[in-house]
């Protein structure tokens, strides 16, 4: 995930967008940073059911030496360019965190209040980006 922007970079880039068109172009560009989704993970288990787009989210863990905690790796894919971009934003916020930290972190306030992605987050049950967040949270809790 070394290519992902930091939280501050995200915020700065969003703030420098002069209109919504630029903001969406930036989101779509961010989606291009997502690494390829491992083919063997393209299964029902990782599919976000209810998403209008076909979206997969997978969380894997590795043990951190000399610690009880684990580090995480996130994989994501969507056939929607906008959703792909939002997945990148979400992954950026989780990068470098331990499993415990991921399970405890609520990224919604940042997405809604600072990046103002409210419209994308509060859509109907079939489109909600919150389904992606729920999936990451529940996969994190299952891995603990």
Partner 1 sequence: MIIYPIEKIRSDFPILNRMINKYPLTYLDSAASAQKPNIVIDSQTHYYRNEYAAVHRGIHTLSTESTNQMETVRLRIANFINASKEEIVFVKSTTEAINLIANSWGHNFVNYGDNIIISEMEHHANIIPWQVLSKHKNIVLHYIPLTPNGTLDISRLSELIDNRTRLLSISHISNVLGTINPLTEIISIARKKSDTLILIDGAQGIVHQLVDVQKLDCDFYVFSGHKIYGPSGIGIMYGKKELLQKMPPWIVGGGIVRNVSLIQDTTFIDSPLKFESGSPNISGIIGLGNAIEYINTIGVDNIYNYEDQLMRYAIDTLKKIPNLVLYGPSTRVGIIAFNLGIHHSYDVGMLLNQYGVAIRTGHHCAIPIMNYFKVPGMCRASLAMYTNKEDIDRLAHGLIKVQHLLNQ
Residue reference for tokens 């993970």: 41
Q: Exactly one of 12, 15, 16, 29 binds partner 1 (CB under 8 A); which one?
A: 29
The answer to whether 83 contacts partner 1 (rule: CB under 8 A) is: yes
How big is the chain by its Cα radius of gyration, in Å?
A: 15
DSSP state of 113: I
| Rounded Cα distance, 20 and 9, in Å | 18
Q: Exactly one of 3, 16, 54, 67 binds partner 1 (CB under 8 A); which one?
A: 54
Cβ 79 to partner 1, closest distance in Å?
Answer: 5
CA angle, residues 14, 104, 71, in degrees to nearest 5: 90
**Count of positions on this chain that bind partner 1 (CB under 8 A):** 17
List the catalytic residues: 51
CA angle, residues 100, 104, 108, in degrees to nearest 5: 140
Cβ 52 to partner 1, closest distance in Å?
Answer: 4
x/- contact string, 100-129, with partner 1 (CB under 8 A)? --------------------x-----xx--
Burial of 144 (0-12, 13-18, 19+ CB in 10 A): exposed
The answer to whether 79 contacts partner 1 (rule: CB under 8 A) is: yes
Residue reference for tokens 């209008």: 52
Q: Exactly one of 1, 14, 17, 24 binds partner 1 (CB under 8 A); which one?
A: 24
Binding site for partner 1 (CB under 8 A): 20-21, 24-25, 28-29, 52-54, 79-83, 120, 126-127
């Amino acid at each position: 995930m070394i290519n992902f922007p930091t939280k501050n970079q995200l915020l700065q880039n969003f703030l420098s967008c002069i209109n919504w068109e630029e903001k969406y172009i930036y989101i779509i560009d961010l989606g291009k940073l997502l690494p390829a989704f491992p083919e063997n993970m393209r299964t029902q288990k990782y599919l976000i059911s209810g998403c209008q787009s076909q979206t997969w989210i997978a969380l894997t863990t590795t043990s951190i030496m000399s610690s009880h905690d684990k580090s995480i790796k996130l994989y994501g894919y969507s056939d929607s360019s906008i959703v792909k971009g939002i997945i990148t934003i979400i992954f950026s916020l989780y990068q470098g965190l331990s499993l415990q930290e991921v399970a405890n972190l609520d990224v919604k306030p940042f997405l809604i209040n600072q990046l103002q992605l409210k419209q994308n987050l509060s859509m109907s049950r079939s489109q909600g980006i919150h389904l992606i967040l729920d999936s990451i949270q529940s996969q994190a809790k299952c891995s603990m």
